[in-house]
Structure 1
Amino acid sequence: MRACLGHAPALASARQTAKRERRGMKVKAILLAGALAITGQAAAQDTATRDLTPHEQRVRDIYRDIIAFRSAAGQEQVDDEVAYLKGRLAEAGFAEEDLMVTDYDSNGNATQGLIVRYRGDGSSGEKPIVLLAHMDVVDALPEDWERDPFTLVEEDGYFFGRGTQDNKYGVANLTGTFIRLKEEGWMPNRDLYLAFSGDEETGMISTRAQAKWVAENVDPAYVLNSDAGGIGLADDFSPIAQQVQLAEKTYVTFDITAANPGGHSSRPRPDNAIYDLAAALTRISQHAFPVRESELTRSYFAAMGQSIPGELGAAMRAFAADPADAAAIATISADPGFVGTLRTTCVATMLKAGHAENALPQSATATVNCRVFPGEGVESVKAALEQAIGNEAISVTQRAEATESAMSSFPDEVREALAKSLAARFGRPIPMVPTMSSGGTDGMHYRALGYDTIAIGAGASRSQDIYAHGLNERMRVDAFYAGLDHWSIVLKELAGD
């Protein structure tokens, strides 16, 4: 091995060290709560509908347990999830030196990650393969949900809970696969690594640091990502295509701020920071970035247009043939699931304004999140927002450095392994469609370092069932179980004799 996995890249803070001393009791409490949660109706439904194999039961248990961790920013439960996963893998026979808990500290904000090495015998002479997932989630407010977001609930053919799609299915599936392969006594012909990050949904401190560590110490042949791709299903739940994410848009966030001297609320003035900001946001909402296209997006729409019925499918085919087709652009733009493949998008996501109910606001700030089409450039997007606002008194400030990444290739051996997994799952060949993701993932940081990163998640969903980051996030129960052989087949093809 190129570097010892027993040493973390950075020291934990004193706060985290103290927190770890309390972790054992906390993890046990969460696991007990998870066990009790399936002793009622949901468990009875499981028993009535199917007999689970040991592998299915194990992955379901892991899924249930990690959803119970509120691993969102500010909740300080990512390290508890790390401890739980490390414990499950250690019980399965992974050595301590092959289980690295990583602590990355940035300005006092520490984030844990987990890197797991599955040792191969090196007989292939090939470089290792790295597999990605993220353990954190966008927070969910229990009072807004119909069900407790941090308790796995099975109802009406779905699993409900925060992270059921994004991305705790990936974490549970990959963890369960490593345990399953270890129990089988399988020896890969090259090393395999899991790289689980802890802040993909926020600052990506651990993601960036893990990618750098992987480049310096592992230098993989390529990277496989569980957090994108996946299988699109038709309304009747039949498979349309396996999406293969080879590129993603650049993630960048701007703060739009209106400032004002303020004053007493009984003495309104003609200018007001909140009103000025509201006017700026209205102009941003009315601004449409120009349509962009690439060989990847044209081929994507051409392929998807063959499977999607009706006006939307026809518009996709028309756009692939003529990217200037205004009618096709209008139809695709009206669909939230596909507008991001056409152009850069910017949308307001958060607001902060005023300091007292009886005072004129001295400042008002909106968070505007943008997903930038490759090649457009972050600076040009900032300039476009400033022009759309048309008010020099309102500032547009970029929050953090953006990571721009190139498109990855789709290695033949990955294509063949994925095809075998899909044929086993559906009993017939399923189209594999290269895509550019509108959302951001860990993969951007590996692409930025020059590694082909191919997202081939095992999830399957209809577009109307995608609630990631939203209320009542869910995953089809049958799709959950149907995807549990996915990574075993893929890895045995890529690292087997």
Structure 2
Amino acid sequence: MTDHPSTGPADTTPTDGDTARRLLGRRALLAGAGGAATLAATGLVSGSGAVARPVAGLPAATAPTPLALLRRMISFDTQNFGEGGKTRAHAQWLRGVWDAAGVRSEIIPTPQPDNVHLIARIKGTTSARPLLLLGHSDVVPVERENWSVDPFAAVVKGGEIYGRGALDMKGANAASIAGLLRHVQEGHRFERDIIVLTDCDEEAGSYGSGWLAEKHWDKLDAGMVLTEGGWFLAQSNGTTPMLVTVTRQDKVYFNLDLYASGTATHSSKPIPDNAIVSLSRAVADIGDDLAPVHLTKVTREYFAALARATDDRRFANAIRLMLGTRSTKVRERAAALVVRYSDYPYLHSALLRTTTAFVIEDAGYKENVIPSEAHVRVNCRGIPGGEKPRDFVARLRRTLRGKDIEVRLGAPEGVSEADYLDQLDETWATAPASLDTPLYDAIERAAKRTYPKAVFSPALFEAGTSLGPWRERGIPGYGVYPYVIDNDQLIGMHGNDERIYVEALERGTDFMYRVFDGFRA
């Protein structure tokens, strides 16, 4: 038992925002320099009192800048090592931000200490089903020794802001919340409720969106959901917007465990029957063997848009060849050219096939003992409508036949492999979110207004999100990371020196402002 029961009341702990509101009141927040003072009191702006850059043609607002929000978000160490992150301090601060803007919010504790969700709700003018904005506050762990800066200091240098979560996804949260607050500060009303869920346990843990939906669905019931996902890609110069995407489908996530066995013996007399050597050979074989290319309606539309968007003629021609051929051999060769010519090769390779990533390896326990077993975990992501996970697993087992490697599907505890493959089949067959919704229309309009020279397209997300509870109920969910990135920044996601451009964050806030503008009353 813990002191944070799942069925307990919402957190009512006083926050810095509560104090600021009592001392200065909401009017001060809305009144020029007084508003800036209020924001400074809640830790939202720098010492210069900087305020949000307004959208062209709109009046200036005193909403916090996205950079100020993001720097504060990064400063909270919400690392999730696999059992959930400690998000309470972050949630209490953000609750103060909502309080200062006059928006009601509540903290939902989970059974794990200091692991909480935060839900804010901006009331609309009609009973239309709400729009839910879903963003996670937990982040993956850091390897501090491999960072060039403190990963929680939110250092700005060379026009980029560094920090764990800068890209995934505190940056998206900052842009979205800054855009919403700008509307609130300007006195705008929305034609439906807008719910902002800042959840925990997205990266791992037992109390994420699934747990929250089971316990508090009445707080989350919505008609559409927007979360992390689609990438805003740049031309070869790394900054000019090229392709703006919104994801309507995630790849299918599953794990495999590979085991090799050998003879345990004294390390002074090595023998050929070595588990580590056998496993290493198997890993090398799989690592060199790309899964076949599978194009679906969703990925065909994406790559066709990419061919129109790029200013690299070789890249565009390779894409068109890949899309136009009926020959499997020609398609594979063209796909190899697509990846070679792409400025985002790892992203585009992942959108073409089932991927395998070797993520955890363990073997041995003492330096003078050759162990009898070695293990590696393989994280896999399949394309919905492409190669079925069961077919991929069967093909992998054929590849490793005769190598004395056992392949186990990483099914949840108590679930058989057969039943888990059936579950994966259902996920694989889930239809992408509809393109005929007010949210998709708002995203498309915002993209064309904010990035008029870029091509807009729906897409497949190569990773996963917290959208499961809504998708299970047939509620359409979409994803965007609302800032233009280059390939080095993309590699920094879950890696070292994670960062995004400050200017891209500001422009991404304009984009999110315009998305919400589509729901003005």
TM-score (norm 2): 0.79
3-state SS of paired residue (2:268): coil
1:135-284 mapped onto 2 (5 Å cutoff): 135-203=137-205, 205-212=207-214, 218-225=220-227, 227-236=228-237, 237-260=239-262, 262-284=264-286
Greater displacement, 142-151 / 461-470: 461-470
Give distance in 1, aligned partners of 2:61 and 2:500. Answer: 21
3-state SS of paired residue (1:223): strand
Give distance in 1, aligned partners of 2:324 and 2:338. Answer: 14
The one-character-per-residue Cα deviations of 1:365-409 (angstroms, maximum 9, x if unpaired) are: 212111111133333333233222224553424154676243111
Give distance in 2, aligned partners of 1:177 and 1:444. Answer: 26
Give distance in 2, aligned partners of 1:327 and 1:126. Answer: 49
Would you say 1:439 and 2:442 are equivalent positions? no
Would you say 1:64 and 2:71 are equivalent positions? yes
Gaps of 5+ in 2: 17-38, 413-419
Task: Tell me the equivalent position of 1:3.
Answer: none
Give distance in 2, aligned partners of 1:80 and 1:256. Answer: 39
Does structure 2 conserve the Cα–Cα contact (< 8 Å) formed by 1:101 and 1:112?
yes
Would you say 1:84 and 2:90 are equivalent positions? no
Give distance in 2, aligned partners of 1:359 and 1:152. Answer: 45
Does structure 2 conserve the Cα–Cα contact (< 8 Å) formed by 1:121 and 1:188?
yes
Instruction: Give 1:437's aligned amino acid.
Output: F
Aligned-pair distance for 1:459?
Answer: 1.5
Task: Tell me the equivalent position of 2:338.
Answer: 332
Instruction: Indicate which of 360, 363, 386 corresponds to 1:353.
Output: 363
Would you say 1:410 and 2:420 are equivalent positions? no
Give distance in 1, aligned partners of 2:431 and 2:437. Answer: 19
Would you say 1:454 and 2:461 are equivalent positions? no
Greater displacement, 208-217 / 289-298: 208-217
Instruction: Indicate which of 98, 119, 124 corresponds to 1:120.
Output: 124
The one-character-per-residue Cα deviations of 1:17-50 (angstroms, maximum 9, x if unpaired) are: 9xx99x99xxxxxx99x979977xxx89x99xx9
Does structure 2 conserve the Cα–Cα contact (< 8 Å) formed by 1:258 and 1:395?
no
Does structure 1 conserve the Cα–Cα contact (< 8 Å) formed by 2:64 and 2:178?
no
The one-character-per-residue Cα deviations of 1:49-75 (angstroms, maximum 9, x if unpaired) are: x99976574432221111112212238
The one-character-per-residue Cα deviations of 1:120-160 (angstroms, maximum 9, x if unpaired) are: 232xx421111111112221122111111111111111111
Instruction: Indicate which of 400, 406, 410 corresponds to 1:394.
Output: 406
Aligned-pair distance for 1:287?
Answer: 2.4
The one-character-per-residue Cα deviations of 1:444-486 (angstroms, maximum 9, x if unpaired) are: 4432332111223322123343221122111111111112222
Instruction: Indicate which of 486, 489, 493 corresponds to 2:511.
Output: 486
Does structure 1 conserve the Cα–Cα contact (< 8 Å) formed by 2:293 and 2:332?
no
Instruction: Give 2:333's aligned amino acid.
Output: A
Give distance in 2, aligned partners of 1:475 and 1:178. Answer: 21
Does structure 2 conserve the Cα–Cα contact (< 8 Å) formed by 1:195 and 1:210?
no
Number of aligned positions between the proteins: 461
Does structure 2 conserve the Cα–Cα contact (< 8 Å) formed by 1:10 and 1:104?
yes
User: Against the structure 1 CA distance between its residues 38 and 116, is the aligned structure 2 distance closer, same or farther, given a 3 Å change threshold?
Assistant: closer
The one-character-per-residue Cα deviations of 1:409-463 (angstroms, maximum 9, x if unpaired) are: 122533442243234424x364321111111122344323321112233221233
Instruction: Give 2:6's aligned amino acid.
Output: A
Would you say 1:368 and 2:378 are equivalent positions? yes
User: Against the structure 1 CA distance between its residues 36 and 448, is the aligned structure 2 distance closer, same or farther, given a 3 Å change threshold?
Assistant: closer
User: Against the structure 1 CA distance between its residues 437 and 189, is the aligned structure 2 distance closer, same or farther, given a 3 Å change threshold?
Assistant: same
Aligned-pair distance for 1:318?
Answer: 1.6
The one-character-per-residue Cα deviations of 1:190-236 (angstroms, maximum 9, x if unpaired) are: 111112222222247412223456756543221112x1114222133
Does structure 2 conserve the Cα–Cα contact (< 8 Å) formed by 1:255 and 1:366?
yes
Instruction: Give 2:518's aligned amino acid.
Output: E
Give distance in 1, aligned partners of 2:374 and 2:144. Answer: 28
The one-character-per-residue Cα deviations of 1:145-195 (angstroms, maximum 9, x if unpaired) are: 111111111111111111111100112223333433333333322111112
3-state SS of paired residue (1:235): coil
User: Against the structure 1 CA distance between its residues 208 and 288, is the aligned structure 2 distance closer, same or farther, given a 3 Å change threshold?
Assistant: same
Does structure 2 conserve the Cα–Cα contact (< 8 Å) formed by 1:248 and 1:436?
yes
Give distance in 2, aligned partners of 1:184 and 1:147. Answer: 37
User: Against the structure 1 CA distance between its residues 344 and 36, is the aligned structure 2 distance closer, same or farther, given a 3 Å change threshold?
Assistant: closer
Aligned-pair distance for 1:348?
Answer: 0.7
Task: Tell me the equivalent position of 2:29.
Answer: none
Does structure 2 conserve the Cα–Cα contact (< 8 Å) formed by 1:102 and 1:115?
no
Q: Which runs of 4+ in 1 moved over 4 A?
A: 34-39, 50-57, 211-218
3-state SS of paired residue (2:518): helix
Aligned-pair distance for 1:246?
Answer: 1.0
Instruction: Give 2:230's aligned amino acid.
Output: G
Instruction: Indicate which of 493, 496, 501 corresponds to 1:471.
Output: 496
Instruction: Give 1:103's aligned amino acid.
Output: T
Greater displacement, 69-78 / 359-368: 69-78
Give distance in 1, aligned partners of 2:514 and 2:46. Answer: 29
Give distance in 1, aligned partners of 2:450 and 2:314. Answer: 30
Does structure 2 conserve the Cα–Cα contact (< 8 Å) formed by 1:119 and 1:192?
yes
Aligned-pair distance for 1:275?
Answer: 1.2
3-state SS of paired residue (2:483): strand
Give distance in 1, aligned partners of 2:480 and 2:121. Answer: 20
3-state SS of paired residue (1:337): helix
Instruction: Give 1:233's aligned amino acid.
Output: A
Gaps of 5+ in 1: 1-7, 25-30
TM-score (norm 1): 0.82
Give distance in 2, aligned partners of 1:36 and 1:482. Answer: 19
